[in-house]
Amino acid sequence: MAKVTFITHDGQEFAVEIALGWSLMEGAVKNRVPGIDADCGGACSCATCHVYVDPAWLAMLPPKNDMEEAMLDFAAMAAAPNSRLSCQIRVTSDMDGLVVRIPVTQH
């Protein structure tokens, strides 16, 4: 398990335990984190699980693949250098303490 903190656009923090191997999106949905809708169920085809990764953690995550990069162009909120789709990040023990922010357009 890894503890991940999701911060909503209005500053609410949701610290959740996510099983290793699950995606951040799966952990958010199972823990009812608001703003992670995951309309496509994790197929990387909707961008409703868009998050902004705390810059301190970016180098520790696997890089975006081409499909994720393309789908971020369809996110409701403009993509930034630290934008990721939470469905594409598989939780590892190294991610314990990870912090991500949920865009204002996802509430």
pLDDT in tens, 55-68: 999 999 999 999 99
Asked whether 72 and 59 are in contact (CB, 8 A), the reply is no
Domain of 68, in residue numbers: 2-101
Written as one string, the DSSP assignment of 14-82 is: EEEEE-TTSBHHHHHHHTT-TT---TTSSSSSS-TTEEEE-GGGGGGSPPPPHHHHHHHTT-SSPP-TT
Q: Which residues contact 1 (CB under 8 A, 6 or more apart)?
A: 17, 18, 19, 20
**Residue 107 falls within a domain, yes or no?**
no
For the residues 83-102, what does the mean pLDDT come to? 97
User: Which band of pLDDT confidence, cut at 50, 70 and 90, is reported for residue 96?
Assistant: very high
54: CATH:
3.10.20.30
For the residues 74-97, what does the mean pLDDT come to? 94
Q: pTM for this one? A: 0.93
**Residue 52 falls within a domain, yes or no?**
yes
**Residue 59 falls within a domain, yes or no?**
yes
**Residue 6 falls within a domain, yes or no?**
yes
**Residue 106 falls within a domain, yes or no?**
no
Counting the structural domains of the chain, the total is 1
User: Which band of pLDDT confidence, cut at 50, 70 and 90, is reported for residue 4?
Assistant: very high
